[in-house]
Structure 1
């Protein structure tokens, strides 16, 4: 029988993201964030390409990101409601780690596998923040997919895009549990 890590299994069976709008100060310090980033960097990475990197947006940067979101929304013709929702994550944000997917030329590792690895880095970062006792939420939204915003806000190169924006701060209220998928309904067993 393999050795079980009951605490880790219990965490994974009960983990729950915290809505970004419920996250308040304080956010983790750079020292407190380092082990969370270290855990996220242990993400499965076929070919050791490191097809992701992190940009930490601390609270003082949030006002600039909110303004850039407003500019992007106006340029794209977004409704006032969409603009308000898009900038809300920055207006309320205390700290966010932007996980940037970095597509690297590789004769062996297809681009889609690099995308999967960047998504895995987002989940690893989210889970590490939650395991460290912080509230955390993985967001994207229309602004994350706008090249103009990504260039102005984060100076992303042509081979880079946002995989996720992980907001991390103090949980102000515990969210209620939500319905989860039934494993039996989404699992096919193959014995031959």
Structure 2
């Protein structure tokens, strides 16, 4: 059992968003995904994240609003760029926004709450993959501007962890170069002795 889970994780990969098709996860499966996503380290039991489902006609509505916001910021858009904005959320049958929703805490720093949201996003994707769905998580320009976050349903104090695109994927996920694990770790060798910045 354990080795099969490790094998699964070693083969996990994102798939191209335009190749995600219906059917999307059912309501029951979505409930399972959210339950899995919430089982992450969460010091203080703050649940400093939430999830927004973008599906159905809402995906096209968001596209129209993002295209209008892009034109407001940049001026008239070329047709291909406008179409890109119009279809940001409609390429996959389901997009789940993972939102960092920090809570007031005298003990738990904000950055740790954000990291907990990142772990929730990863659990969400792994759970969707385990149910047989393809996934891809992105953020994009609208995550970095207050007006974009407002369009997507976030409050001013919230931030985007990622938008997880989910759907049925037929094919083999493309492999990409991965870092050599042997270069990513080593034994502790004492305090940092280089120049201190910050």
TM-score in terms of structure 2 length: 0.87
- Structure whose residues are more often helix by fraction: 1
Using the TM superposition, give the Cα deviation of residue 182 of structure 1 relative to its aligned residue in structure 2, in angstroms.
Answer: 0.3
Q: Which runs of 5+ in 1 are unaligned?
A: none
Find the residue that maps to 2:41 and give its secondary structure.
Answer: coil
Please say which structure displays the higher CA radius of gyration.
2
Using the TM superposition, give the Cα deviation of residue 105 of structure 1 relative to its aligned residue in structure 2, in angstroms.
Answer: 1.2
Find the residue that maps to 1:24 and give its secondary structure.
Answer: coil
Query: For the structure 1 residues 121 and 87, does the alpha-carbon distance in structure 2 shift closer, same or farther, using more than 3 Å as the test?
Result: farther
- In structure 2, the residue matched to 1:13 is 10
Find the residue that maps to 1:171 and give its secondary structure.
Answer: coil
Query: For the structure 1 residues 27 and 111, does the alpha-carbon distance in structure 2 shift closer, same or farther, using more than 3 Å as the test?
Result: same
Matched, 1:47 2:44: yes
- In structure 2, the residue matched to 1:171 is 169
- In structure 2, the residue matched to 1:131 is 130
Q: How many residues align?
A: 188
Mapped contact 2:60–2:86 kept (Cα < 8 A): no
Mapped contact 1:55–1:97 kept (Cα < 8 A): yes
Using the TM superposition, give the Cα deviation of residue 86 of structure 1 relative to its aligned residue in structure 2, in angstroms.
Answer: 4.2
TM-score in terms of structure 1 length: 0.90
Using the TM superposition, give the Cα deviation of residue 191 of structure 1 relative to its aligned residue in structure 2, in angstroms.
Answer: 6.7
Mapped contact 2:146–2:156 kept (Cα < 8 A): no
Matched, 1:63 2:60: yes
What pairs up with 1:26-105 in 2 under 5 angstroms?
26-77=23-74, 80=78, 83-105=82-104
Mapped contact 1:136–1:166 kept (Cα < 8 A): yes
Find the residue that maps to 1:48 and give its secondary structure.
Answer: coil
- In structure 1, the residue matched to 2:196 is none
Q: CA RMSD in A?
A: 1.8
Residues of 2 paired with 1:45 and 1:121: CA distance? 10
Residues of 1 paired with 2:42 and 2:82: CA distance? 35
Residues of 1 paired with 2:82 and 2:49: CA distance? 27
